[in-house]
Structure formats: structure tokens, C-alpha cells
Amino acid sequence: MNDFGISRKIAGILIIVSPLLAGPIDDAYRSVIGRNLYLLNNDTLHSGSYYFDGRNGNEDARLKSTTIPGSYFFGDLFEGFRPFVEGAVGYARYEQNRNSDLGGAIDLKSLYLKAGGGLSYTFSSTLTLLGGTSLLYMGSDGDYSGTISRAEELFQGREDNLLYDLYGSIRFHPEFRGYKPYLTLTAHYLTLDYDDSGLGRDHGWSGDLRAGFFTHELTRIWAMPLEAEFYLNGNALDHGLGELMGYDTAVSAGTTLYWKIGSKIPFHWLRELDLTFTVQGTTTNHGMHGHNIGFGLSLMKF
């Protein structure tokens, strides 16, 4: 066979193989970006170090993230109704040394911003309904070490992705002898927008059930109160989001200490500033586990 005939056969093979490669590569991209967006948006999981078990010849992946959140509830709009705003800023890094679908390693460094708001309605001193919406923007600088052009197109260089969250929550929060127990059920309808990739959007539902309690003032350090929160959080995803994340359910347990340093700051808008110390563990029904141990600042009003 002459060289022209060999070239035609090779070209034909490439034409057949390229579309076949596009599916796994696109799916791998959606999974990586979906993991990042979902975890960074979740109020319990947005900070920590998470490990994803390798599958099908892939090595384990790791996501490390730090988030500074804040929220502010305004006074009554009319009886029982209070508007609120929320926001967050943070940094994350996702690393995987080998992904067989992509033929190489991935290293994503991301800065993200979250903003939103909504309305709460207080039925009584112990029961509150809340509804709202938020947008999370994640700008990533990607580094891809493989040789597949489609994967390089998706992961190499600057990437911008979005997550839209429409949510509703019901919270039961009695008070007992200085302690403040609570039970909160939240449902989310999420839209993940792969902005620069041409892959469109994914949609899905998730839910959180969180139970815990805040203590009364435990002690004072340099005349500033110290309080604590203990909690257990369950997280469930529908089938589509579960496919992206690699798990369907997650359970987190932890405690946070709140040192109310804002009580000694002369600026009114910093009166709610707390220095926090958190210890939290997370496990899932398959594929992911993680922890969060560290100090932070909590500004619940800004």
C-alpha cells in the first residue's frame, strides 16, 4: 500500500476516534468543575480538605478550599418578613496527578465569589421560613499536563464557571436554659453553567438536613465571650448531581468555637465579628471524605 493510502486510513481512524474521545473528556470536565462548584456553594462543605477516591485507573484527587462567608438580615419589611443579603469569597485548589480519561494531570487554582439574598418569615419565636437565590462565580487558572487537545482546550488556562442556587428552608429553633438547639431543612435547585466550554448547563436538586445547638456563654477571654456550636449535617443529591459528584449522600459532624472579638471593636458594623475555630469531619456513601480544621473570621453581618 502506498503512503497516500496509509495516510487516508490513519485520517479515517482519527475521524472515528475523535468523537469517541470527546464524550469521556467532556464528562470528566463536567465532573471536576461540578465538584468544585457544588462544594464551594454548600454552606457546610465550602471549606476544608476533601479527597476523592480514584476509579478506573485514576489516582485520587484532592480539593482544598477556604471560604469567608457573611450574611445580613434587615429589620422587618412588614410584620414577620425580613429581607436579607448574603455573600462569600474564597480560594480553592483541585489536584489530580493522573486522570485516564484526560490522559494527564490536572491542577486548578480558583478564586470564587458568591452573592445573593432573599426573604425570611417568622411564624413564631421558634419557627422561621426562608427563601432566596444566589450566584456563585468561579474563575480558575488551569494547568493540564497531558497531550489530548480537547482536554487542553477545556482545562488549560483561564476558565469561568457559574452556579445558580434557588433554595427554600424551614428552621425550628427553640431555646432551653440558655442553649439554642435548632433543626433546619433546606432544598436547593441548582444550575451549573460551564460558561467557556460550550457544554451548556446541568440542573439538579439537593437537600440538607442540619441539627445542632449553640451553647450559652462558656467563658470570657480578655473580657470577650466564648460560645460554641455542635452540629450534624446530612446532604443528599439527586441522580444527576450524584453522577457529577461521585456520591449521593454525605454526612458531616463538627463543632465551632466563636470568640466574640467584635464586642471590643468600636466600629458598629464589626460588632458581630467572631474569631472561630472549627473541627469537622465529612464522609459519603462512596468516593469522597474530608475534614476541616482551622481558624477563621466570621462576620455574620456586613
Give me the half-sphere count of Cα atoms (radius 13 Å) on the Cβ side of residue 100. 7
Q: How confident is the model at residue 300 (pLDDT cuts 50, 70, 90)?
A: low
Cell of 182: 435548632
Domains and CATH numbers, the chain: 3-299 (2.40.128.130)
H or E element at residue 233:
strand 224-237
Residue 91 buriedness (CB in 10 A; 0-12 / 13-18 / 19+): middle
Q: How confident is the model at residue 21 (pLDDT cuts 50, 70, 90)?
A: very low
The per-residue pLDDT for range 183-242, each reduced to its tens digit, is 999 999 999 998 766 788 999 999 999 999 999 889 999 999 999 999 999 999 999 999
Place of cell 461540578: 34
Highest mean pLDDT among 80-84, 100-104, 141-145, 186-190: 186-190
Cell of 283: 464522609
- Between 18 and 243, name the one with better pLDDT: 243
Q: Say if residues 92 and 112 touch (Cβ distance below 8 Å).
A: yes
